[in-house]
């Protein structure tokens, strides 16, 4: 077997570049074949960034966005429209998991938005986090928690996160009992669905049946990572790249289960305090806010792009630009790349 290209490799900070300016909460990034990016924006829409760096904000005329709100209102109480996860449909429309309005939305490229779902099984959806399209055109949704404010779920250990499936039959829960459900990804064959459980600091996975049902849940990699996983993506070798938010590290789990540190941009002292309070279940928004790096503060996601899928873009919650760098291995293409 070929040598893992990530063994012995780390991101060279001197080679990190940025694209985009004055972004607001660029949590999720979709890279497109033409070199452009679609980036979630806290003004209630999506920022289109061309390969030449030119920006165009796609946003409804009135969104109730939380622009100008303080940290508590925007990030803890999640007031206003806060697009989080994005998925691209075949016709170019964008499905949005809206963290602020607890809903699933559909946005056209001219900024027209309509709400698809606010409830599931007769109950409010909760903190809609991430959406993903599969090869059959179905949309998968994660909900982190139904607790409000969502930060309470970090200390209570509640297992109310879930995964839902949206298809021709509507929306339904297909797996539940997760600790802070965050991003999800398929392997190359869509045989396994990988699930970030941020609050438990672990990655789980489940086998995917043809009808969308999930079974055989198991932990993938270490039972507890050294920080809070948020976003992740596979490369073509089979490494699973993961962002650790607040401690702001980029790590990878190899196919053999080894954890590699690819980039460490955290504040060691603030991270140590964060970890102590996590263990004691005494986390507060102030402690969380203090723990962050400088490149992509509250590093929340990554995506592979560029013509050869070897450019890695980093999303964040507190950043205003998108850092990027070159990878020694290409990423596993998402469904909209095909």
* Ramachandran region, residue 47 (left: φ > 0; alpha: ψ -120 to 50; beta: rest): beta
Tokens of 178: 């997760």
Instruction: Tell whether 3 is covered by a domain.
Output: no
For β-strands 103-107 and 128-133, DSSP reports them as unpaired
Q: What is the pLDDT of residue 75?
A: 72
State which residues form the domain around 236: 13-337
Instruction: Tell whether 6 is covered by a domain.
Output: no
Regions in the chain scoring below 50 on pLDDT: 64-66
Q: What is the pLDDT of residue 275?
A: 97
Instruction: Tell whether 192 is covered by a domain.
Output: yes
Q: Indicate the number of domains in the chain.
A: 1
Instruction: Tell whether 52 is covered by a domain.
Output: yes
Q: What is the spatial order of strands in the sheet that 202-208 belongs to?
A: 181-186, 192-197, 202-208, 214-220
For residue 199, report the phi and psi dihedrals to the nearest 5 degrees: -70, -25
Instruction: Tell whether 5 is covered by a domain.
Output: no
Q: In 3D, which of 1, 39, 84 has the Cα closest to residue 323?
A: 39
Instruction: Tell whether 2 is covered by a domain.
Output: no
Residue ranges in 158-217 assigned as alpha helix (H): none
Cα 258 to Cα 12, 30, 200, 217, 230, distances in angstroms:
21, 28, 19, 20, 19
CATH assignment at residue 144:
2.120.10.30
pTM for this entry: 0.96
Instruction: Tell whether 4 is covered by a domain.
Output: no
Q: What is the pLDDT of residue 76?
A: 75
Q: What is the pLDDT of residue 270?
A: 96
pLDDT digits (tens, 9 = 90+) for 18-50: 999 999 999 999 999 999 999 999 999 999 999
Q: What is the pLDDT of residue 62?
A: 62
- As a whole number of angstroms, the distance between CA 169 and CA 282 comes to 42
Q: In 3D, which of 249, 246, 250, 251 has the Cα closest to residue 292?
A: 246
Instruction: Tell whether 44 is covered by a domain.
Output: yes
């Amino acid at each position: 077997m070929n040598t893992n290209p990530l063994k012995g490799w780390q991101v060279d900070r001197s080679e990190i570049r940025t694209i985009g300016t004055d972004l607001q909460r660029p949590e999720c990034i979709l890279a497109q074949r033409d070199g452009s990016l679609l980036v979630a924006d806290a003004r209630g829409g999506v920022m289109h960034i061309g390969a030449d760096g030119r920006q165009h904000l796609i946003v409804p005329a009135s969104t109730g966005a939380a622009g100008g709100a303080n940290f508590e209102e925007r990030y803890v109480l999640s007031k206003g429209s806060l697009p989080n996860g994005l998925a691209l449909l075949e016709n170019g429309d964008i499905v949005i998991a809206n963290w602020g309005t607890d809903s699933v939305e559909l946005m056209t490229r001219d900024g027209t938005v309509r709400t698809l779902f606010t409830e599931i099984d007769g109950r409010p959806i909760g903190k809609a986090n991430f959406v993903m399209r599969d090869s059959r055109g179905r949309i998968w949704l994660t909900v982190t928690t139904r607790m409000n404010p969502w930060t309470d779920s970090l200390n209570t250990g509640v297992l109310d996160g879930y995964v839902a499936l949206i298809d021709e039959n509507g929306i339904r829960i297909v797996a539940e009992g997760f600790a802070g459900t965050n991003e999800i990804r398929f392997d190359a064959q869509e045989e396994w669905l990988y699930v970030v459980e941020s609050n438990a600091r672990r990655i789980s996975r489940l086998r995917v049946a043809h009808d969308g049902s999930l079974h055989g849940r198991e932990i993938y990699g270490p039972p507890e990572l050294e920080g809070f996983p948020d976003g992740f993506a596979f490369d073509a070798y089979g490494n699973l790249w993961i962002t650790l938010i607040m401690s702001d590290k980029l790590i990878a789990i190899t196919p053999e289960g080894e954890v590699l540190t690819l980039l460490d941009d955290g504040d060691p002292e603030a991270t140590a305090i964060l970890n102590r309070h996590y263990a004691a279940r005494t986390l507060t928004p102030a402690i969380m806010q203090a723990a962050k790096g400088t490149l992509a503060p509250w590093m929340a996601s990554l995506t592979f792009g560029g013509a050869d899928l070897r450019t890695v873009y980093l999303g964040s919650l507190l950043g205003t630009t998108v850092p990027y760098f070159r990878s020694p291995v290409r990423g596993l293409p998402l469904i909209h790349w095909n």
